[in-house]
Chain A
């Protein structure tokens, strides 16, 4: 069974630009969550999508948004990039959004904002 895949793996953007990251969950998984990892803040929850609906949202500004498609693939968008958005963005999938199901992570997208 293929794992969680994320594209692209590396991205370099400049301040003010926008970026879209993509995540394909494990087959059969309907919940997709996004996390940001930085050296200073660690791993922080961005949001979760289930059945094309955002179920939970972390404490990030509105510049961070996402969506989920009917095949459970998800995209995350960051608009008006700031230097502080440089981070490893991780996507995780699980069977559903309830009960004791572990989340499986993709390799991440390393975003550098210059």
Chain B
């Protein structure tokens, strides 16, 4: 039962351009959404989160947008840098429960 979906397994962008990573969810109980970045042989690193009471959260080059009616969120990275190349995971959970569900991940490659 894939409650969180990242339909793009990979994304390649040019350095300096915008990277947009997408995520869809099905469970209406989810109201806290997180993005993690992962390098091989390391644990996921928290990037940015958004609660369901907001539709946008920004932190430096990273912005997360939430469309609750469409059950869709996206992560924008502007400008993209080669060091951003990694696998990005979208995750979701209810606010009062740490049972976090992850998408399958999107491998981002930023070309110099």
How many A residues have CB within 8 A of the partner chain? 28
**Interface majority SS on B: helix, strand, loop or mixed?**
loop
With most chain A CB atoms within 10 A of its CB, the pick from B36, B41, B95, B99 is: B99
From B66-74, B78-86, B101-109, the one touching the partner chain is: B101-109
Q: Would B96 and A48 count as touching, CB distance under 8 A?
A: no
Q: Would B95 and A100 count as touching, CB distance under 8 A?
A: yes
Q: Would B42 and A107 count as touching, CB distance under 8 A?
A: yes
How many B residues have CB within 8 A of the partner chain? 24
Q: Would B99 and A45 count as touching, CB distance under 8 A?
A: yes
Kindly list chain A residues whose C-beta atoms are within 8 Å of the C-beta of B98. 31, 33, 48, 50, 55-56, 94, 97, 103
The 3 closest A-B pairs by CB, nearest first: A105-B43, A43-B102, A98-B96
Q: Which residues of A contact B (CB under 8 A)?
A: 4, 31, 33, 35, 42-45, 48, 50, 55-56, 58, 90, 92, 94, 97-100, 102-108, 110
